[in-house]
Amino acid sequence: MENILEEANRCLNCKVKPCSKACPLGNDIPTFIKAVKENNLEEAFNVLTQTTVLGAICGRVCPHQKQCMGSCVRGIKSNPINIGELETYVFDNALEKDLKINKTEELKGKKVAVIGGGPSGLTCAAFLSMNGANVTIYEKQLKLGGITRYGIPDFRLPREVIDKTVEKILSLEVEAKCNQELGKDYELEDIADKYDAVYLSFGANVSSKMNIPGEDLDGVYGGNELLETGIHPDYTGKSVAVSGGGNVAMDSARTIKRMGAKNVYVIYRRAREQMPAEDYEVEEAMKEGVEFLFQNNIVKIIGNDKVEKLECIKTELVQKEGEKRLVPVNIEESNYTIDMDYVVMAVGSKANKEVVEKTGLETTEYGNIKVNEKYMTSKKGVFAGGDLIGTKATVAWAARSGRNASEAIKKYLLGEE
C-alpha cells in the first residue's frame, strides 16, 4: 500500500485529463487516483465501475504505454504514473472484499441475451444488468472470459483474476449458459424470439492465412487456435517460426519457448518500431530466448508431407504515397532457406465465416457483421460488437464496444432510439 500511495501522490490531478482521453474506456483516472490518495478504495472502485468492470484484467494486460500512461503529463519530465498498477490495486481490493456495484431498475423486466462471454460480451452484460435487465450469456466454451481466458497465457494473466472478475459480473444477477455454441446447439432465430434484444459478441478468433505455398502442410498452425485450445505438438528440441508482430505472435512464441522448443523465431516483415506488440512483451520474449527476424518475410513453406524448411526474403521499408505506415517491400534476390519443424500463423484473425453465415445477417467486405451507428445489425433488436464488427483487437476496445452497445440496447429497450 505504501508504494501505491506514493505512486498515487505523484498524480497531478490534471484538469484536462489527458490520461482519460487516451484510455479506450474513458476511465476517470484523476478522480479514481484522488480517491486512492484519500485511502478511499471503495470510492475509487465506484468511480472506475462507471466505465469498466474489467479493471483487474485491463490493469494487467492493457498496453498502458500506448494509451493512458503514454499521455500522462508526469511522463514528460520523469516516469508516467503507473495507472495500470493503481487500477489493478483498486479492483483486486474490491474483488477481495466483495465490494458491490451499484444497480438501477430502469430496465426491469427486459430480457437480453448476450452471445459470447469475452470482454465485449461480459461488459455489455454487466452494464445492462446494472441497469436492471435480466441478462443471459451464452458461451461456447466451458467457462466465461473469451480471449482473456482462451487467448492470453496465464503467465500474463492469472486465471484466478479472470475467475474473480467473472464471479463479480455474475453476482450482478447475470445468468451464464456455457458449453452452448451458436449454429450448433441453438440458432439465432430461437434466441431472438425469446429475448427483447440480443447482443452478438462471439469474437473473431480464426487465424488468418498468409496465402503462400505450403501453408496446408502438416505442422502449420494458427496462433489463435493454439492459444485457444491449448493443444500443441511436442516442441521438444524443435525449431518453430511464428509469423507476425502482434500480441498473438508474442503470446504464441513465448508459450512455445516455455514448452521446450529449441529455437523460436518471430518473423516480422517490418522493423521492431512498427510492431503492434507491446515493447515490454518483446523484451520479455527476447529474455526468454525467442529470436526475432525483423524485416524478413516467409514466401514459401517447403516439405513433402510436413514442414521441413522455410523460404524467406528480406524486406526494406518504403514510404509510399497515400500510405500512413512504411510499407515493407521484398528485396530482390535476398531469398534464403532455413530449417524448420513448425510454423505458427499470427498475422491477424477473422470471424468464423460459417457461424456468421448461419446468422443470415449482413456482413462487411471483410467478413465482419455489419452494424449501424447504434450497433444494430440488419435484424431489428439484434446488436453486435467487439472483434465481430472489426473493433481494434484489444481487451479495452472490445470492452468499450460492449459498453457502447449496452447504451444503444438500453435506448432501444426504452423506446428512445
Of 30 and 223, which has the nearer Cβ to ligand SF4?
Answer: 30
Of 30 and 222, which has the nearer Cβ to ligand SF4?
Answer: 30
Q: What are the residues binding ligand SF4 (CB under 6 A)?
A: 11-14, 18-19, 29-30, 33, 72-74, 81, 83
Give the list of residues 6+ apart from residue 322 with CB closer than 8 angstroms, or none: none
User: Please, what's the b/e burial string for 88-121 (b: 16 or more CB within 10 A of its CB; e: otherwise)?
Assistant: bbbbbbbbeeebebeeeeebeebebbbbbbbbbb
Strand partners, 354: none
309-318 and 327-330 strand pairing: antiparallel
Closest approach of Cβ 16 to ligand SF4, in Å? 8
Of 14 and 317, which has the nearer Cβ to ligand SF4?
Answer: 14
Closest approach of Cβ 335 to ligand SF4, in Å? 48
Residue at 399: amino acid letter: A
Give the list of residues 6+ apart from residue 105 with CB closer than 8 angstroms, or none: 132
Closest approach of Cβ 93 to ligand SF4, in Å? 19
Of 12 and 414, which has the nearer Cβ to ligand SF4?
Answer: 12
Distance separating alpha carbons of residues 181 and 117, to the nearest angstrom: 11
Closest approach of Cβ 48 to ligand SF4, in Å? 14
Query: Under DSSP, is residue 277 helix (H, G, I), strand (E, B) or coil?
Result: coil
User: Please, what's the b/e burial string for 221-258 (b: 16 or more CB within 10 A of its CB; e: otherwise)?
Assistant: bbbbebbbeeebbebeebbbbbbbbbbbbbbbbbbbbe
Closest approach of Cβ 72 to ligand SF4, in Å? 3
Per the listing, cell 484484467 goes with: 57
Of 29 and 101, which has the nearer Cβ to ligand SF4?
Answer: 29
Closest approach of Cβ 399 to ligand SF4, in Å? 20
Distance separating alpha carbons of residues 371 and 194, to the nearest angstrom: 22
Closest approach of Cβ 194 to ligand SF4, in Å? 45
Of 83 and 220, which has the nearer Cβ to ligand SF4?
Answer: 83
Closest approach of Cβ 11 to ligand SF4, in Å? 3
Query: Under DSSP, is residue 145 helix (H, G, I), strand (E, B) or coil?
Result: coil
Of 79 and 171, which has the nearer Cβ to ligand SF4?
Answer: 79
Distance separating alpha carbons of residues 67 and 69, to the nearest angstrom: 6
Distance separating alpha carbons of residues 325 and 48, to the nearest angstrom: 35
* Phi, psi dihedrals of residue 384, rounded to the nearest 5°: -150, 155
Of 29 and 371, which has the nearer Cβ to ligand SF4?
Answer: 29
